[in-house]
């Protein structure tokens, strides 16, 4: 019985090999991961787990009581990715082990390549959560939808009409270049929040917290987003971030439908081909979490869960597997066509400083003596 007690939900993901190219995860990798996490569950390290994929990213969803940043849980995820890498090597999959940037695990998986979203929560009597999994994009892709869920009254009716959430929420925003963070209050500092998070390649929402007076303690996250930037970690291109998030819903928090509503608008995100292009993010069911056209367009999957009193993950429900998102998908495909017609031109191609691949320094060097002063 964990109701009223602390429990941790961890989503840890890595690309340890694509099938074929950067397309999707081979089922054998998921099988290997399930075997290892089953053993951990038998040993009592995990309460429950689920293994899935989004594009070429292997996704581990786990409940346990070890708290966030636990050496045991991160070590387990690391070993699981290592083992899955071995399977990927045997199958000759593409980019086997590409997100495992260090040789040895040293206590915490942060900064080692995989993406992590985890939160320690006091389990409510009924705990609905959604885990979001994106492929072919960056952590800042969550800024707009998370802001809409917790800060935008045109998205979340509850901000206006539910007395339990009328006070608003607190946004923890990270400056991923300067490695700093700030907590801002919504709605009081709405314009400051937007001034930062609109610059989504630099400022990313890491957590959302309730305010004083909410049913949930003000220091307990109600949303968390992975913010690892592989490019920053490795100092050179090694693949995109392909972020994940966990969002709690209902009962003084955005309703399930308010959590999903932002994705009815397929907003533009960076990533897509070679991590160097802007394109729309398509909300898809798992069966379509398979980036194909121009290595994309970027995808997002939403899995719905109830965590029961024993900490078990009751789910997943494949939440975008619904006709209500058909129009967003159609629109996304139309936008994808429109963006593609720009070919190598901005704003389809990212600005120079954000591209993950570039030939420009070489070209400039070669042309150096042909450039004349204006
Ligand atoms: C990687 C990705 C892909 C690759 C592209 C080229 O996550 O999204 O678009 O950047 O397929 O990959 P390489 O250089 O490995 O041939
Ligand atoms: Mg890949
Ligand atoms: Mg990926």
| pLDDT at residue 239 in the model | 54
Q: Say how far apart CA 372 and CA 374 lie, in whole Å.
A: 6
Q: Say how far apart CA 301 and CA 285 lie, in whole Å.
A: 6
The tens digit of pLDDT for each residue in 182-206 reads 999 999 999 999 999 999 999 999 9
| pLDDT at residue 333 in the model | 98
| pLDDT at residue 240 in the model | 60
- Which residue lies with its CA nearest to atom 13 of ligand 1? 274
What's the 122 CA to ligand 2 centre distance in angstroms?
35
Helix (H, G, I), strand (E, B) or coil at 171: strand
Q: Which residues of the chain have pLDDT under 50?
A: none
Q: Which ligand approaches the C-alpha of residue 54 most closely?
A: 3
| pLDDT at residue 104 in the model | 79
| pLDDT at residue 177 in the model | 84
pTM (2 d.p.): 0.97
What's the 260 CA to ligand 3 centre distance in angstroms?
22
Burial state string for 116-131 with b = 16 or more CB within 10 A and e = fewer than 16:
bbbbbbebbeebbbbb
- Which residue lies with its CA nearest to atom 14 of ligand 1? 274
The tens digit of pLDDT for each residue in 247-263 reads 999 999 999 999 999 99
Q: Say how far apart CA 288 and CA 328 lie, in whole Å.
A: 14
């Amino acid at each position: 019985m964990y109701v009223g007690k602390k429990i941790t939900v961890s989503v840890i993901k890595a690309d340890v090999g694509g099938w074929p190219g950067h397309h999707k995860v081979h089922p054998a990798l998921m099988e290997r991961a399930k075997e290892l996490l089953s053993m951990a569950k038998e040993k009592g390290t995990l309460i429950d787990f689920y293994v899935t994929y989004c594009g070429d990213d292997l996704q581990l969803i786990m409940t346990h009581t070890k708290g966030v940043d636990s050496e045991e849980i991160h070590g387990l995820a690391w070993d699981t990715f290592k083992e899955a890498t071995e399977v990927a090597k045997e199958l000759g999959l593409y980019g086997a082990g590409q997100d495992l940037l260090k040789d040895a695990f040293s206590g915490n998986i942060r900064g080692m390549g995989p993406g992590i979203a985890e939160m320690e929560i006091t389990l409510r009597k009924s705990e609905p959560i959604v885990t979001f999994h994106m492929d072919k994009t960056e952590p800042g892709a969550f800024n707009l939808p998370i802001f809409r869920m917790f800060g935008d009254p045109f998205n979340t009716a509850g901000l206006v009409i539910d007395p339990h959430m009328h006070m608003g929420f607190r946004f923890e925003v990270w400056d991923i270049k300067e490695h700093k963070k700030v907590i801002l209050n919504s709605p009081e500092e709405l314009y400051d929040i937007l001034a930062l998070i609109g610059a989504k390649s630099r400022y990313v929402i890491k957590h959302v917290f309730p305010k004083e007076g909410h049913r949930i303690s003000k220091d307990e996250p109600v949303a968390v987003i992975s913010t690892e930037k592989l490019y920053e970690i490795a100092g050179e291109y090694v693949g995109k971030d392909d972020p994940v998030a966990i969002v709690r819903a209902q009962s003084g928090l955005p309703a399930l439908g308010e959590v999903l509503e932002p994705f009815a608008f397929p907003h533009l995100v960076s990533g897509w081909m070679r991590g160097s292009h802007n394109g729309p993010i398509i909300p898809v069911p798992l069966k379509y979490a398979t980036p194909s056209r121009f290595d994309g367009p970027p995808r997002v999957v939403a899995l719905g869960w109830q965590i029961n009193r024993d900490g078990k993950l009751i789910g997943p429900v494949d939440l975008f597997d619904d006709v209500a998102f058909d129009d967003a998908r159609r629109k996304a495909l139309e936008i994808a066509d429109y963006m593609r017609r720009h070919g190598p031109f901005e704003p389809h191609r990212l600005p120079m400083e954000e591209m993950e691949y570039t030939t420009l320094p070489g070209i400039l060097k070669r042309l150096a003596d042909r450039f004349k002063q204006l």
